[in-house]
Amino acid sequence: MKSHIDKKTEQLLSAYIDNEATPEERRIVEEQIQHNPAWKRELLRMRRVQGIVAAKEPVGQSQYFWTKLSARIEDEQLHPKESFFPFQRKWLPVTLGAGIAALLIIIFTLVYQKESIVQYVDTQTSQIRDWYEQNMLSGKVSTLASMLSNDDVFNFAMTGSLPVDKANGKMLQFGDQPSHGHFVEAENATPQQAKMTTAALIKRLGLDRSQSIAIDSLLQTYRSRLENSMLVSQEADSQFMAINADVWAMNKVLMVDIAKTLSRPQRKNFAGMLVSANAPVKLNLEALDSPMTDTVIINFGKKGPSRQFVIITPDTLFVKNVTKQFSDSFAVRCEQVNNEVRRHYELLAKHSPERAADIIENLKRHQAFRDKVFNKRVDSSLRQYYADSRGLDGKMKKLDGEYQDFNAAVQQAERMLKSLPDSMTLRIEINRQLGVMPDRMTVVMNNIVMTQPLSAPHPSGNARMLKPHPVDSGMIWHIQMPDSIRMVMMPRQRGVVLAGDQSVQIGSFMKDGYRKAAEIKSIRSRQDLEKRLRQLEKELQEMRKQMEKLEEP
Amino acid sequence: MTESPGETRGTQAKAARGENDAKIDERLIRDFLDGKSDAFMHLVQRHQERVRNLIYSILGYTQIVDDLAQDVFIKVYQSLPNFRYQSSFATWLYRVTVNRCRDEIRRSKVRRMFRLESLQERDHPVESESTDRTERILVNEALNAALRQLSESHRTIVLLKEVEGLRYEEIAEVLQCGVGTVKSRLARARVRLKQLLQPYVEEEV
């Protein structure tokens, strides 16, 4: 018989008081507590602890919990948080582990699946494909961005190959075949595949400083675009890699874009470099100066990435238009602006050699700014606001002015409404000349014609009263009465004396009130605008703070 | 000390009530998914105090109870269309609540702002209370202090059992761990509480 209470006993007793002990355990406990005082005491202590915790005082009731919650739900529905990525921000830190794991499976599939991708696709069932279509892009997606350097992009321009898992030497080779169209192959990087670097290009072609900067800027631009063109899933149950259809054209356009920054002799050398590097594409030197080439490059930069993605999964491969991401994103718009700015600088440098130094300086500043905004992985919404901030300032001022006007109008209208009577008593005086005293009176309220009985004659004998009526600011009163009858309208204590033939004035008085009330209503319905303004103010402040932090060295 | 017939009846009645509650929840969820706008309101009203209390008990302070409870219900609102009844709604709700609390505790630690309700935050001064009430407040404060000294996992498990009255199996579902783990953690947490609340425990024993 145990008198000592050990951990096992405690666990047994704990389960016993919760009615979670097995029949055998119950039997043991019940036998022990009958004969062993230590067990009995321990059981009592546990029950006491149980009682104390169960009697824990609850938190005070919350008033308006549902009201506040429903407002938040409505707010979140009306203004869903915008995000650059089609997944929650908390996943933003690129968890490459999961991404790479998914990628390796895909690469494994591709490397060992030597048959043509087209045939491979044909062997898959549409069911699997549908499953992926429904489930992918709803999950967590990361880009391959952080793995690429400018040299990787340069190499991609020259050879069409892109490292996707540097640690394990995995590459993706993009290309075209007349028989099969576009293809992508996963392969192991071999030591023979010496990487082409921008340093080698600069050295071999003897590029000057401005040319080096221009090429760096180009690579940077295309790198950003590549970032958003290759996505991998982080979901364990929905592994895929999505490649933007542009990637197959991007290396060629980039190669031509680089060539355009070179002088004629340099271009020739560059073409030689491509041949010796076994580049899959040859450079057509004659076509380089054609306006058509310029158009292609500019259009490629301007149009933004395609919505078409090639989706590669361990089971299948298909093409899908992905509409919910990237194409409208700020990054893409920045890309376009960046391209245009760069071209603008290049054009200036070409036509104003004397200003070349300034232009290069500008270009550098532009690049520095861009690096600051893009490479520090600034929150995407911040980028958005930074870009909009110039416009936002103006917008804010305008909204502010509008808001002041509203405020003034609200105050004026509210003053006006306060001066309106709560109820109105009409006193009809006898027209002494005619000796007429009507006992009924027609009142038109909001186009509804009502015949109102007048009260008994006033003790003075010369007046009757129209019983008090609540005055709704939304009503228009129009009193119809013979011209000759004199009427006194007494809103609250304030009497407004009107002659019969001035009855229109009552209408217009009320009408004015009605107009003001309507104005107030419309202003109140524009509280959304005020809300938005406050939101903007808050966001702008937040954004400025963050930008200040960024600006710090 | 076997379970008395009264206790058995109580347990059965509780189980029946739980079943009935689950059916009501299920109906409200269906109504909500069918677009009946007030169904979600009823669902919230049925569970809001339970969620708020659990948050308060786990965190130990009141300031953000409503905010977190709202977060929980917004999460529920967004996720209900995907709710598959693999567990009861209440169990799922507890899970969402516990996860949100854990998230908050993690964030608070990061912000180094983790603070618990201080005695100054009491609504009523002890002096003005009746003896009974004073006693209750003192025990409650001692309990709050003791709970604060437990680890988050022990605290949560004790609260789910003693305050919310969940079965081991349900607790395991909420915390996504095994029943054995629940059993051992709960016993450890009780032993620790017993030590921390010794004066109040011994008093009666």
CATH number of the CATH domain containing B148: 1.10.10.10
Residues in chain B: 205
d(Cα A380, Cα A42) in Å, to the nearest integer? 59
Q: Are residues B126 and B101 in the same domain?
A: no
Q: Are residues B142 and B108 in the same domain?
A: no
Domain boundary among B70, B93, B112: B112
Question: pLDDT higher for B27 or A402?
Answer: B27
b/e code A240-276 from CB counts within 10 Å (16+ = b):
bbbbbbbbbbbbbbbbbbbbbbbeeebbeebbebbee
Q: Would you call B143 an interface residue with chain A, using a CB distance cutoff of 8 Å?
A: yes
d(Cα A51, Cα A8) in Å, to the nearest integer? 22
Identify the closest residue of chain B to A65 by CA–CA distance.
B66
d(Cα A498, Cα B111) in Å, to the nearest integer? 71
Using the beta-carbon criterion (under 8 Å), do A44 and B205 form an inter-chain contact?
A: yes
Closest CA to A489 of A439, A435, A443: A443
Closest CA to A385 of A145, A545, A179, A157: A545
d(Cα B192, Cα B146) in Å, to the nearest integer? 9
Tell me what percent of chain B is helix, strand and coil, each rounded to the nearest 5: 80, 0, 20
pLDDT in the model for residue A60: 77
Using the beta-carbon criterion (under 8 Å), do B53 and A44 form an inter-chain contact?
A: no
Using the beta-carbon criterion (under 8 Å), do B187 and A10 form an inter-chain contact?
A: yes
Using the beta-carbon criterion (under 8 Å), do A11 and B162 form an inter-chain contact?
A: no
Q: Residue B50 above 50 pLDDT? A: yes
CA of B138, closest CA in chain A: separation in Å? Answer: 11
Interface of A with B (CB under 8 A): 7, 10-11, 13-15, 18-20, 26, 29-30, 33, 41, 43-46, 48-50, 52-62, 65-66, 68-70, 72-73, 76
Query: Phi and psi for A460 in degrees, rounded to 5?
Result: -70, -15
For CA atoms A189, A149, A324, A252, give the dihedral sign. Answer: negative
Closest CA to A328 of A384, A249, A378, A265: A384
Closest CA to A303 of A365, A243, A225: A225
d(Cα A410, Cα A524) in Å, to the nearest integer? 9
Using the beta-carbon criterion (under 8 Å), do A52 and B187 form an inter-chain contact?
A: no
pLDDT in the model for residue B186: 92
Closest CA to A307 of A232, A228, A233: A228
Query: How does DSSP classify residue A418?
Result: H
Coil, helix or strand at residue A187: strand
d(Cα A240, Cα A106) in Å, to the nearest integer? 7
Using the beta-carbon criterion (under 8 Å), do A55 and B49 form an inter-chain contact?
A: no
Q: A52 to chain B: which residues are within 8 Å by CB?
A: 139, 143, 197, 200-201
pLDDT in the model for residue A193: 53
Q: Are residues B53 and B20 in the same domain?
A: yes
Domain boundary among B96, B112, B128: B112
Chain center to CA of A203: 45
Q: Are residues B73 and B173 in the same domain?
A: no
CATH classification at residue B84: 1.10.1740.10
Domain boundary among B112, B137, B165: B112
Asked if A326 contacts A227 with a C-beta cutoff of 8 angstroms, the reply is: no
Q: Are residues B124 and B101 in the same domain?
A: no
Q: Residue B105 above 50 pLDDT? A: yes
d(Cα A546, Cα A533) in Å, to the nearest integer? 20
Q: Would you call B4 an interface residue with chain A, using a CB distance cutoff of 8 Å?
A: no
Which value does ipTM take for this structure?
0.78
Q: Mind listing the pLDDT tens digit of every residue in chain A (553 residues)?
A: 444 677 888 888 999 988 888 899 899 988 888 888 888 888 888 888 888 888 888 887 776 788 778 777 776 664 444 333 333 434 334 444 455 555 555 555 555 544 444 444 444 444 445 555 555 444 455 555 445 778 888 888 888 888 776 666 777 778 776 655 677 776 676 654 556 788 888 888 888 877 887 788 788 778 777 777 777 665 555 566 778 778 878 888 888 888 888 888 888 888 888 887 777 777 777 777 776 666 666 666 655 566 677 777 665 566 666 654 433 344 444 455 555 555 555 555 555 555 556 656 655 655 555 554 444 333 333 344 444 444 545 555 555 565 566 556 555 555 554 544 444 444 444 444 444 455 555 444 433 444 555 555 555 444 455 544 444 433 334 444 444 444 444 333 222 333 333 333 343 344 444 454 455 445 554 555 556 556 656 666 665 566 566 555 5
Q: What is the dihedral of CA A259, A261, A264, A269, to 10 degrees?
A: -50
Q: Residue B123 above 80 pLDDT? A: no
Tell me the whole-structure pTM to 2 decimals: 0.38
Using the beta-carbon criterion (under 8 Å), do B66 and A62 form an inter-chain contact?
A: yes
Write out the residue range of the structural domain in which residue B170 sits.
119-205
Q: Would you call B2 an interface residue with chain A, using a CB distance cutoff of 8 Å?
A: yes
Using the beta-carbon criterion (under 8 Å), do A66 and B163 form an inter-chain contact?
A: no
Using the beta-carbon criterion (under 8 Å), do B204 and A44 form an inter-chain contact?
A: yes
Q: Are residues B128 and B80 in the same domain?
A: no
Half-sphere exposure of A286 (CA within 13 A, CB side): 0
- Give the tokens for residue A50: 């149980």
Cβ neighbourhood burial of B48 (10 Å; 0-12, 13-18, 19+): buried
Asked if A326 contacts A137 with a C-beta cutoff of 8 angstroms, the reply is: no
Q: Are residues B92 and B178 in the same domain?
A: no
Q: Are residues B148 and B163 in the same domain?
A: yes
Hey, how many other C-beta atoms are within 10 angstroms of the C-beta on A361? 11
Query: Phi and psi for B129 in degrees, rounded to 5?
Result: -90, 160
pLDDT in the model for residue B41: 87
pLDDT in the model for residue A317: 62
Using the beta-carbon criterion (under 8 Å), do A59 and B65 form an inter-chain contact?
A: yes
Chain position carrying tokens 């005491």: A41
Q: Would you call B57 an interface residue with chain A, using a CB distance cutoff of 8 Å?
A: yes
Query: How does DSSP classify residue A155?
Result: H
| Number of domains composing chain B | 2
d(Cα A416, Cα A405) in Å, to the nearest integer? 16
Q: Are residues B76 and B139 in the same domain?
A: no
CA of A236, closest CA in chain B: separation in Å? Answer: 19
- Give the tokens for residue B85: 């009844």
pLDDT in the model for residue A76: 65
CA of A514, closest CA in chain B: separation in Å? Answer: 34
Half-sphere exposure of B92 (CA within 13 A, CB side): 18
Using the beta-carbon criterion (under 8 Å), do A7 and B1 form an inter-chain contact?
A: no
d(Cα A522, Cα A531) in Å, to the nearest integer? 15
Q: Which residues pair with A436 in a beta bridge?
A: A431
Q: Are residues B41 and B132 in the same domain?
A: no
pLDDT in the model for residue B182: 92
pLDDT in the model for residue A363: 56
Q: B144 to chain A: which residues are within 8 Å by CB?
A: 56
d(Cα A438, Cα A425) in Å, to the nearest integer? 16
Half-sphere exposure of A375 (CA within 13 A, CB side): 13
H or E element in which residue A57 lies: none
Closest CA to A40 of A64, A71, A16: A16
Q: Would you call B123 an interface residue with chain A, using a CB distance cutoff of 8 Å?
A: yes
d(Cα A18, Cα B40) in Å, to the nearest integer? 33
Q: Are residues B108 and B61 in the same domain?
A: yes
Using the beta-carbon criterion (under 8 Å), do A69 and B74 form an inter-chain contact?
A: yes
> Mean pLDDT for chain B?
76
Question: pLDDT higher for B27 or A391?
Answer: B27
d(Cα A275, Cα A279) in Å, to the nearest integer? 6
Q: Are residues B79 and B60 in the same domain?
A: yes
Q: Who contacts A326 (Cβ-Cβ below 8 Å, separation ≥6)?
A: A228, A305, A332
